[in-house]
A = this chain, B = another copy of it.
Amino acid sequence: MDIVRSVAEMQKTAKEWKRSGKSVGFVPTMGFLHEGHESLMQQARSKHDLVVVSIFVNPLQFGPNEDFERYPRDEAHDRLVAERNQVDLLFIPTVEEMYPTHQSIDMQVTQRVNVLCGRTREGHFSGVVTVLTKLFHICLPDTVYFGLKDAQQVAVVDALINDLNFPVELQPVATVREDDGLAKSSRNVYLSEQERTEAPYIYKALQDAKKMVVDGEKNPVIIVREVEQFINKHTNGKIDYVELLSYPDLTTMKVINQQVILATVVQFKHARLIDNIIIPLA
């Protein structure tokens, strides 16, 4: 596995791959790799000649109250994870490599952002689309892999690629779950024993709601209320939000008449758990 830290070298390598007709799968990450990332790498590995993983903690996507400096980093661990998933190249640029000058070009996201978790993360997705634009130009992937655990990010990347005609295919990957349905997360270790038994009811609530929609329920208010009641009944977590929106447009609706996302955040004592389910139009 190669490790490249220079933007120029990475882009040169990617151009050579392109010229020789190789297909490139790309997994952009902020490092501290876990099973969710591994699932993305495995998907990419199964479909491309070459798999590139980037590790870059992007200062542009951290808000004033989010601590960029304290974001966890562990390159040695990440190298092991990438290696065992047969990644071909790890791209690990410094902040100075990625942002050598004060940028003249400012990218903003004007839709799909002021809902779900984006509501409280102003400017976050501007930073995301800026760094992804740069990474796509540097690594020249055919396909980019993102986990549906962060379905709003997937929706924003979908807008980025479509609006600006990137020659890149977006491949969303299903959330990795424990056997009991709980979405895997590095935060699950912060759950108490009692909370850990309650947490799977979050996904259970989403699944039951999906069944209601599939069975014909068209009223988002009823669906959201059912999910809230179910979570409140089976857990001691505090619901931050339950939202039902069109997907990937992320707009509200009065009647469910298109593919939707049902998403929730539940705050336990020391762990904020997020989960969602996408419900295709029946």
Contact residues of A with B, CB < 8 Å?
7, 11, 14-15, 18-21, 101-112, 129-130, 133-134, 137-138, 140, 156, 159-160, 162-167
Kindly state the separation between the CA atoms of A144 and B93 in the bound complex, as whole angstroms: 27
Q: Could you write out 5 A-B pairs with CB less than 8 Å apart?
A: A19-B21, A103-B110, A106-B110, A107-B108, A137-B164
CB of B107 within 8 A of CB of A106, answer yes
Cβ contacts under 8 Å, A110 to chain B: 103-106
Kindly state the separation between the CA atoms of A130 and B106 in the bound complex, as whole angstroms: 11
Cβ contacts under 8 Å, A166 to chain B: 137
Kindly state the separation between the CA atoms of A166 and B18 in the bound complex, as whole angstroms: 15
Cβ contacts under 8 Å, A138 to chain B: 165, 167
CB of A167 within 8 A of CB of B11, answer yes
CB of B105 within 8 A of CB of A137, answer no
Cβ contacts under 8 Å, A21 to chain B: 19-20
Cβ contacts under 8 Å, A109 to chain B: 104-106
Closest CB in chain B relative to A239 CB, distance in Å: 28
CB of B105 within 8 A of CB of A107, answer yes
CB of B137 within 8 A of CB of A167, answer yes
Query: Shortest 3 CB-CB distances between A and B: which pairs?
Result: A104-B111, A104-B159, A137-B165
Give 17 new A-B contacts, CB below 8 A, not counting A102-B111, A105-B159. Answer: A18-B18, A103-B110, A103-B163, A104-B110, A104-B163, A105-B107, A106-B109, A106-B110, A107-B107, A107-B108, A130-B164, A133-B164, A134-B164, A137-B164, A137-B167, A138-B165, A138-B167
Q: Give the residue of B7, B18, B167 whose beta carbon is less than 8 angstroms from that of A165.
A: B7
Closest CB in chain B relative to A137 CB, distance in Å: 4
Kindly state the separation between the CA atoms of A175 and B274 in the bound complex, as whole angstroms: 58
Cβ contacts under 8 Å, A160 to chain B: 104-105
Kindly state the separation between the CA atoms of A109 and B108 in the bound complex, as whole angstroms: 11
Closest CB in chain B relative to A83 CB, distance in Å: 27
Cβ contacts under 8 Å, A137 to chain B: 164-167
Cβ contacts under 8 Å, A15 to chain B: 167
Closest CB in chain B relative to A156 CB, distance in Å: 8
Kindly state the separation between the CA atoms of A59 and B102 in the bound complex, as whole angstroms: 29
